[in-house]
Amino acid sequence: MRFHSVSSHRIDQKPRTYRLAAGLFVAMLLIALFPHDSSSKERTIFQQFTQHIGKQIHHDKQAFARANNCLSWFYQATKVPPPSVQGISWNMTPASQLDRDCPRDYPGGMDDARDDFSKTQSVLSVSLTFYEFALVADRNDDATYGPTELQDLFRCLSLPYRQGEPTSKQVAALTERFDSWYRSRNMDALMEGMSDLYGRGYRVTPSDRVELDRMMG
């Protein structure tokens, strides 16, 4: 009877063992088929940070194009050639629309347009430089901030880095830093951060230049 009891216990255990093994197998299969992407958090941070800056660039480009077009329109009205603008390839607004919009948007004439041109050029420079900074911080151009890249990014922006913080909180810290430096036109701090990245071995890559050209286009 004792032998029968032990045997029976072992027999009863087999289905449990099989179920456990099957469960482990299924779990491993799911991991293999749908692996937990350890970089998904860093990829989300990269995407949301660059998209946030990109939206501001789009707005700045529109404002700069309007000022540039109207400044050219005022110059043409006085028959004086406008100063050339390097690196700008945006199409001019139709003349008929400029005839209506420019006097309305710049009642002070050429002086108002020139002042807005200078202002919009300055803010566009800040947003584009910040975008370049965000691209350079992605050292291997995989559209993801790896753990080291993320840590360097925060430090070069003078932000405290706490590993394990929620993605949303880290994204908020980065976008708030951009918004703050953008509003204050703090190009000096931005260039210091860029210099810090360069000191850590980061560089503008051919891929970065292609993306910057696309953003400027």
Give me the tens of pLDDT residue by residue for the chain, a chain 217 residues long: 444 444 444 445 555 555 555 554 544 444 444 444 445 766 899 999 999 999 999 999 999 999 999 999 999 888 755 555 555 545 556 666 898 999 999 999 999 999 999 999 999 999 999 999 999 999 999 999 999 999 999 999 999 998 889 999 999 999 999 999 999 999 999 999 999 999 999 999 999 999 999 998 8
Q: Tens digits of per-residue pLDDT, 83-102?
A: 555 555 455 566 668 989 99
Both tokens of residue 54? 């990109």
pTM: 0.76
Q: Tens digits of per-residue pLDDT, 107-149?
A: 999 999 999 999 999 999 999 999 999 999 999 999 999 999 9
Query: Read out DSSP for the chain?
Result: -HHHHHHHHHHHHHHHHHHHHHHHHHHHHHHHHS---TTHHHHHHHHHHHHHHHHHHHHHHHHHHHHHHHHHHHHHHTT-PPPP-TT--PPPPPHHHHHHHHHHH-TTTHHHHHHHHHHHHHHHHHHHHHHHHHHHTSTT-SSS--HHHHHHHHHHTT----TT--HHHHHHHHHHHHHHHHHTT-HHHHHHHHHHHHHTT----HHHHHHHHHHH-
Map out the domains of the chain as residue ranges.
Answer: 1-36, 39-216
